[in-house]
Amino acid sequence: MNSLHLPKNLTSGLHFFNNKRTTIDSEKFFDVYEQRIGKIVTKCPISDKNEVDKIVSLAHEGQKKWSSMSPMERGSVLKKAAEIIRLNQKEIAEWEVKTNGKPINEAEIDISSSANTLDFFAGIAPQALLGDFFPLSNNRQAYTTREPFGVVGAIGAWNYPFQTAMWKIAPALAAGNSVVYKPSPFSPASPVLIGEILVAAGLPMNTYCVIQGEGETGQALIENKLIRKVSFTGSVPTGQKIQQACARRGIKPCTLELGGKSALIICKDTPIDNAIAGSVLANYFNQGQVCTNATRVFIHKKMMKEFEEALLKELDKILVVGDPLDKKTNVGASINEPHLNKVIGFVESAKNEGAKILRGGYRVHPKGVEEGFYFEPCVIGNVTNEMTVAREEIFGAVMLLISYETEEEAIYHANNTEFGLAAGVFSSDLGKAQMIAQKLEAGTIFVNTYNDCEIHVPFGGMKNSGIGRENSLSSLLSYTQEKTIYINLNSKVEHGF
């Protein structure tokens, strides 16, 4: 089995092309932080339009060999990459912590699921890409083929840098495309390591490349004429700009996984322990930096007091903010200081609008990592659905408690948002829970659970939360173009007139 030599410093050489970690000459740079200690660890050169165009051209050439391989042959490379990840899972997870700030326990899950992602798409591609056959009348037939687009331009998010990169890279490669990937400048290192893993597994030259930069770099990538499909994870405003750019540049198909402002409805028949567990599941993983998080927790008016008291007691017992490399920590560092201050600003705005801060909501300085970007997880009570904090995506560990009197009222307020990524409902009555789930306007609904995510199950949003689906067969097919071919088997052709 191929092995991987992990570099001593993942922040040196943050570009990837010609099948190796490298750097470029550039007049512009951005700072790269290690969030857990709050320090700049390097400066990354930014890819300008000329650099982007050069890399896309390399990927265009690299795709030719890759697409000429059978799905089974491509799948063999992806499966080798999955095995390399598993052999180096502990070390990769530690690097993920250092380049993102999430707790090591969560990082290990992300890395493991990324290997599963490669295995899944490698496994389904040979059958899924066969196409269909149609016998027709008058000695005719038709069949379809699934063909890759060519070069895919992928732009990733910073909250799950290794895992969400793999959600795009694995299906795109399995379908026979090459990929040019632009990470978020807030967590730029993981996709470069993915490149080294893929090359160690046997990926052909320039089938996968990484560029670095901010908005201008992403724009140059999307507008390059050789990019035939775009996949983006990020904010709604950026997603809207990308969709417009795709329409201007030849009607390029795009998958957009955007923001959310999800709601969790706790019915009054829910056992209090289950209500608390569901609310925690929906809010505090990854420092609250999860797009599906149900920051709006709707609690029946008659159970609000009991719920608040029990929730605060439980959170004081279970939440540990600290060095994310410590196994005891379950709340790590925020992605950067401006984002940390933004989350604190939301807490202050809620207080100014009449809400009550029940716990947390401020910066903390854990022992040994005092300069890192740490936030004490927050619970805010006396919230109404009209408050700023209940309308805008916070992307931090802030739970909002909103009371309701009828389930119809809760459903109305849950749906009264521009977003539609996820939602949840807890109830002892599964029939009632299913009814509420049918009425909630979101791409994923959780019933008596929250934030489940399986690679073979579609994931994506409704309304302003995006278009298209990640994961599952749906994702693989979205990286292909369907071609239909008609064949007349008759030796004599009739003109029809």
Same domain, yes or no: 233 and 148: yes
DSSP 151-196: EEEEE--SSSHHHHHHHHHHHHHHTT-EEEEE--TTS-SHHHHHHH
The kind and range of the H/E element at 86 are helix 71-87
Instruction: Answer for the pair 156, 183: CB distance below 8 angstroms, yes or no.
Output: yes
Quick check: is 302 in a domain? yes
Structure confidence by residue, pLDDT tens digits, 243-264: 999 998 789 999 999 999 999 9
* 3-state DSSP assignment of residue 431: helix
User: Alpha-carbon Rg of the chain, whole angstroms?
Assistant: 24
Quick check: is 454 in a domain? no
Q: What percent of the chain has pLDDT over 70?
A: 99
Domain containing 316: what range? 263-447
Q: For residues 145-156, give the mean pLDDT.
A: 98
Same domain, yes or no: 38 and 174: yes
- Cα–Cα distance for residue pair 91/179, rounded to 1 Å: 25
CATH number where 88 lies: 3.40.605.10
Structure confidence by residue, pLDDT tens digits, 354-368: 999 999 999 999 999
Structure confidence by residue, pLDDT tens digits, 66-91: 999 999 999 999 999 999 999 999 99
Same domain, yes or no: 271 and 155: no
Same domain, yes or no: 267 and 345: yes
Quick check: is 8 in a domain? no
Same domain, yes or no: 252 and 374: no
Instruction: Answer for the pair 477, 457: CB distance below 8 angstroms, yes or no.
Output: no
Question: 412-442 in b/e burial notation, b at 16+ Cβ within 10 A?
Answer: ebbbebebbbbbbbbbeeeeebeebbeebbb
User: What value does the mean pLDDT of the chain take?
Assistant: 97
Structure confidence by residue, pLDDT tens digits, 396-436: 999 999 999 999 999 999 999 999 999 999 999 999 999 99
Q: What percent of the chain has pLDDT over 90?
A: 96
Quick check: is 138 in a domain? yes
Same domain, yes or no: 253 and 378: no
Same domain, yes or no: 105 and 222: yes
Same domain, yes or no: 271 and 254: no
Is residue 11 pLDDT above 80, yes or no? no
Is residue 170 pLDDT above 60, yes or no? yes
Same domain, yes or no: 221 and 354: no
Question: 31-45 in b/e burial notation, b at 16+ Cβ within 10 A?
Answer: ebbbbbbbeebbebb
Q: For residues 30-41, give the mean pLDDT.
A: 97
Same domain, yes or no: 190 and 278: no
Quick check: is 410 in a domain? yes
- Cα–Cα distance for residue pair 471/460, rounded to 1 Å: 9
CATH number where 270 lies: 3.40.309.10
Q: Which of 196, 257, 407, 470 is catalytic?
A: 257
To the query of whether residue 257 is one of the catalytic residues in this protein, the response is yes
The pLDDT, as a whole number, for residue 418 is 97
Quick check: is 452 in a domain? no
Is residue 1 pLDDT above 50, yes or no? no
Q: For residues 103-127, give the mean pLDDT.
A: 98
Quick check: is 123 in a domain? yes
Please tell me the total count of domains within the chain.
Answer: 2
- Cα–Cα distance for residue pair 229/368, rounded to 1 Å: 45
Same domain, yes or no: 422 and 375: yes
The pLDDT, as a whole number, for residue 2 is 55
The pLDDT, as a whole number, for residue 3 is 65
Same domain, yes or no: 297 and 179: no
Quick check: is 365 in a domain? yes
